[in-house]
Amino acid sequence: MMGSNNRKIRNIGYFLSFAGPSLAAFILVLLAPFVYGVVLTFTNYSPLSESREFVGLRNFAAVFSDAEFIRQFLKTIVYVLYATVLSNVVAFLLAALLTSGIKGENFLRGGFFTPNLIGGIVLGYIWKFIFANVFTQIGQSLQFRPLMTSMLTNPDRAILAMVIVTVWQYAGYLMVIYIAGFVSIPKEIPEAAALDGATGLRKVIKVIIPLMVPSFIICLFISLSRGFMVYDFNLALTNGDPYGSTRLAAMHIYQKAFQANRYATGQAEAIVLFCVVAAVAVTQVVVSKKFEVEA
């Protein structure tokens, strides 16, 4: 009995030694603020008054009656759909190209991955300069009207500019995951498929893609979660302009909480956004896993 107790104490000590710091950081930095934020959504807390009276579900009712938030959230969904699809298509094509045996594969992989290392704020300012100066100069020299004025000044094209920058940044990162998927496919399988008459696009659809479902699961999850939570590069590139046409959900929540000083309502909007993102991510993973099993 004494030896068993000593073993348990020793195992607990090992756990605290190795996992304790990470667990403490997770609780203090993520879990505790999240729980505290959920509690605040049931109050009328404001940084100005510091009152914390219990108001029940009033803040959540305000979220679903806020037409501006609903409009920005729908706009975010459109942005996420375009950015996710295009980022993954470009990343998959790049991965296919850079595992085909062309010269300079490693150099090109590093080059395409580099944009992901640039922070969102810096990225936004770089591309703001490119849209306002480089593209307009090219458009004027070619007399190509769509590029003669910055896309960021057009309410109908500014969101497209955000999608372009997102694809440029994320495609290289997702490419690395797809490359890992391509490399993990046994060479015998594509060779056997070729002998059976599956070549070109048919081989990709019938053989390669089903074997890479795990890579698609990871990439889609990353794309969706990042897309819904985007804020820093949205702030630096457009700041929600022109005329609020690029103000996405995360920016709306920040402005509601910290600029309008409606912290509890803003926190409720953040919880709603979190629940939607979690539901979408879980649904995507479950559906993708189903295809993986069938494959």
**8 Å CB contact between 112 and 172:** yes
Give how far Cα 237 sits from Cα of 113, 154, 159, 234, 254, Å: 21, 13, 10, 5, 16
Residues 24-36, mean pLDDT to the nearest whole number? 89
Answer whether residue 286 is part of any domain.
Answer: yes
Per-residue pLDDT reduced to its tens digit, 190-237:
777 777 766 667 777 777 888 888 889 889 888 988 899 899 889 999
Residue 1 has pLDDT above 60, yes or no: no
d(CA 277, CA 221): 10
Q: How high does pLDDT run on average in the chain? A: 86
- The predicted pLDDT at position 190 comes to 75
Percent of the chain scoring above 90 in pLDDT: 39
Residues 252-281, mean pLDDT to the nearest whole number? 89
Per-residue pLDDT reduced to its tens digit, 142-176:
888 888 888 999 988 999 999 999 999 999 999 99
Residues 265-271, mean pLDDT to the nearest whole number? 92
Answer whether residue 190 is part of any domain.
Answer: yes
Number of domains, the chain: 1
Q: What single-letter amino acid sits at 162?
A: M
Q: DSSP string covering 243-260, please? A: TTTT--HHHHHHIIIIIS
- The predicted pLDDT at position 7 comes to 76
Answer whether residue 1 is part of any domain.
Answer: no
**8 Å CB contact between 229 and 170:** no
Answer whether residue 118 is part of any domain.
Answer: yes
Burial environment of residue 49 by CB neighbours within 10 A (0 to 12, 13 to 18, 19 or more)? exposed
Q: Assign 55 to helix, strand or coil.
A: coil
pLDDT band at 111; cut points 50, 70, 90: very high
Domain at 268, CATH number: 1.10.3720.10
Helix (H) or strand (E) holding 51: none
Q: Which structural domain range is residue 249 located in?
A: 63-294
- The predicted pLDDT at position 4 comes to 66
Residue 292 has pLDDT above 70, yes or no: no
Residues 128-132, mean pLDDT to the nearest whole number? 92
Give how far Cα 292 sits from Cα of 209, 225, 228, 295, Å: 10, 21, 25, 5
What is the rounded radius of gyration, in angstroms, for the C-alpha atoms of the chain? 24
Answer whether residue 119 is part of any domain.
Answer: yes
Answer whether residue 6 is part of any domain.
Answer: no
- The predicted pLDDT at position 165 comes to 94
Q: How many CB atoms lie within 10 A of CB 107?
A: 10
- The predicted pLDDT at position 237 comes to 93
Answer whether residue 26 is part of any domain.
Answer: no
Residue 129 has pLDDT above 90, yes or no: yes
pLDDT band at 293; cut points 50, 70, 90: very low
- The predicted pLDDT at position 2 comes to 53
User: Which residue did the predictor score with more confidence, 16 or 23?
Assistant: 23
Cis ω for the linkage preceding 242 (within 30 of 0): yes
Answer whether residue 156 is part of any domain.
Answer: yes
- The predicted pLDDT at position 295 comes to 44
Per-residue pLDDT reduced to its tens digit, 274-283:
998 888 888 8
Per-residue pLDDT reduced to its tens digit, 65-108:
999 999 999 999 999 999 999 999 999 999 999 998 888 888 99
